Amino acid sequence: MSIIIRDLSYVHSDKEVLFQHLNLVINPGDKIALTGNNGCGKSTLMRIIAGDLSATTGTVSHPEHLYYVPQHFGQYDDRTIAQALRIDGKLKALHAILNGDVSEKHFTTLNDDWNIEERAQAALSAWGMDGIPLSRLMGGLSGGEKTRIFLAGMELHSPVAILLDEPTNHLDATGRQRLYDFVRRTPAIVLVISHDRTLLNQLPAICELASNGLTFYGGNYDFFKEQKGIQLNALQKQLEEKQKALRLARKTARELAEQKAKQNVRGEKAAIKKGIPRIMMGTMKNRAEVSTNKLKSVHTEKAEKLQ
């Protein structure tokens, strides 16, 4: 199943629009980096996809088996590692059965996952957390340890879709390399927010978030930056051309206004010499002013459009 974002918008409680009219389809097996300026709403969008936050308008559909690694873990401090990994229910059912409680509900909860404890320990060990008790509270762990626990959950659960928000922030070189390898080999959908350029270059597509939409780029991060550079250079040239045209339009408007004013003065002097009645001179003056104002309006409108 794909991740499908339809006409998604998010508005802060103070009515400030963070983003609007987002549309995107992430197909099975796609691996995409989500980029954008700081504060554009990348983490907010990922939380909405994960179901941790509600959008203002629009919808998101995604595979049922989705796994989310957030950027911050403080909300898990009062939970055990087993709870953070969402296997505490299975562990309780397993130990209840082993202790003689053969209630049907325990077998339903365990769902034949008899080696859940061994699999959890193996996954944690693979991420450098060998031997840590599943009953230990998350609150006493470092940021790097919490990150590795959540990343171990990817291998434990084998999800259909994975959302990663700055997953390398607290990882050492060994942990980062393991993550790069995992991202390359997993068949799952992967959506990543990161400032780690090496990680971003593992992904074959980039999606750039802005307030008014998402722009998709085929190619890794280096290719994306190259394309953005080309676009920005083209826009810079257009800007310079418009600025040049604006300066010329303003200069032309000033010169024409000065010429028209001089013509009006000369016309008045000539009319006086010819003895034209004052009432007719007034009519001529009004016409000249109307003509001058029209000319000024035309050039002002042109300058405003260029601006």
pLDDT of residue 294: 66
Whole-model pTM above 0.85?
no
pLDDT, residue 219, reads: 84
Q: What is the mean pLDDT of each run of 10 residues along the chain (307 residues)?
A: 94 90 94 93 95 94 94 92 95 94 93 95 94 94 94 94 95 94 95 94 92 86 77 81 83 77 68 61 58 64 70
Q: Reduced to 3 states, what is the DSSP secondary structure of residue 173?
A: helix
Please state, in angstroms and as integers, the Cα–Cα distance from residue 158 to each residue in 123, 153, 162, 179, 188, following that order. Answer: 11, 8, 9, 14, 8
Angstrom distance (rounded) from CA 52 to CA 147: 18
Tell me 53's DSSP state. Answer: S
Could you give the 3-state DSSP secondary structure of residue 262?
helix
Assigned architecture for domain 3-82+129-230:
3-Layer(aba) Sandwich (3.40)
Give the whole-angstrom CA distance, residue 274 versus residue 143.
93
Domain boundaries, the chain: 3-82+129-230, 235-306
The whole-angstrom separation of Cα 19 and Cα 44 is 10
pLDDT of 306 reads 65
State residue 265's pLDDT score.
66
Paired tokens of 61: 């559909």
The DSSP symbol for 80 reads B
C-alpha distances in Å from residue 260, one per residue of 111, 137, 229, 256, 263: 90, 83, 46, 6, 5
Give the residue among 156, 159, 178 at the shortest CA–CA distance from 167.
Answer: 178
Q: Provide the pLDDT for residue 14.
A: 86
